[in-house]
């Protein structure tokens, strides 16, 4: 019960703060290329995924909706043939140690986890609150932006990814 109340409080709080966040990026724009560094310290760039739908989602260990979203995005990515959909989960303003522990906990995930050294991607994308997601089209432009969404939004997100993929429908994954 305590966890459920915490999640509900976070959803209400995030939806209220997200409305005031005001991302400078807009649908149709080319997003910033650099989205942080992988676990080996290599730069992660969107330009490496041209021709794929890319979901760039910003998350943190203290964000319950973010932690619910990651397994769902993982399930979506697993349903799509390799080279069609890439999910990049960018850690939001956390210390490297905290990020590393969280990624180790999710080591079975096929998502690409990104550490945003110096919060450069956070600033470039205008992220001020969580959850915050950018769906990038195969052509490399922002197709959708979502701020402060909750669990009820997941079916719509799945539909939007299907629309961007323009191929057979994927099923809505179930959170674990």
79, pLDDT greater than 60: yes
pLDDT digits (tens, 9 = 90+) for 32-77: 999 999 988 999 999 999 999 999 999 999 999 999 889 999 999 9
Q: Going along 1-78, which residue ranges are E strands?
A: 34-37, 43-45, 53-59
User: Given this model, what pLDDT does residue 140 score?
Assistant: 94
- Sign of the four-CA dihedral 114, 119, 125, 130: positive
20, pLDDT greater than 90: no
Q: Is 7 helix (H, G, I), strand (E, B) or coil?
A: helix
Counting Cα atoms < 13 Å in the Cβ hemisphere of 74 gives: 17
Structural domain boundaries in the chain: 2-165
pLDDT level of residue 22 (50, 70, 90 thresholds) = very low
Q: Which CATH number applies to 2-165?
A: 3.40.30.10
Please answer whether residues 88 and 114 qualify as being in contact, where contact means their C-beta atoms are separated by less than 8 angstroms.
yes
pLDDT digits (tens, 9 = 90+) for 105-158: 999 999 999 999 999 999 999 999 899 999 999 999 999 999 987 778 878 888
Number of H helices, E strands in the chain: 5, 7
pTM: predicted TM-score of the whole model, two decimal places: 0.80
């Amino acid at each position: 019960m305590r966890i459920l109340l915490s999640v509900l409080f976070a959803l209400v709080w995030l939806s209220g703060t997200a409305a005031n966040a005001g991302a400078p990026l807009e649908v149709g724009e080319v997003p910033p290329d650099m989205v942080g560094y992988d676990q080996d310290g290599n730069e992660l760039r969107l330009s490496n995924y041209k021709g794929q739908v890319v979901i760039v989602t910003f998350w943190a260990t203290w964000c319950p909706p973010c932690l619910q979203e990651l397994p769902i995005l993982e399930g979506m990515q697993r349903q799509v043939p390799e080279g069609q959909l890439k999910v990049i989960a960018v850690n939001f303003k956390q210390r490297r140690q905290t990020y590393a522990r969280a990624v180790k906990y999710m080591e079975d995930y096929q998502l690409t986890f990104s550490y945003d050294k110096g919060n450069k991607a956070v600033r470039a994308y205008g992220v001020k609150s969580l959850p915050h997601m950018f769906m990038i089209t195969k052509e490399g432009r922002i197709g959708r932006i979502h701020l402060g969404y909750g669990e009820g939004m997941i079916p719509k997100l799945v539909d939007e990814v299907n629309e961007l993929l323009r191929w057979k429908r994927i099923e809505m994954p179930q959170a674990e």
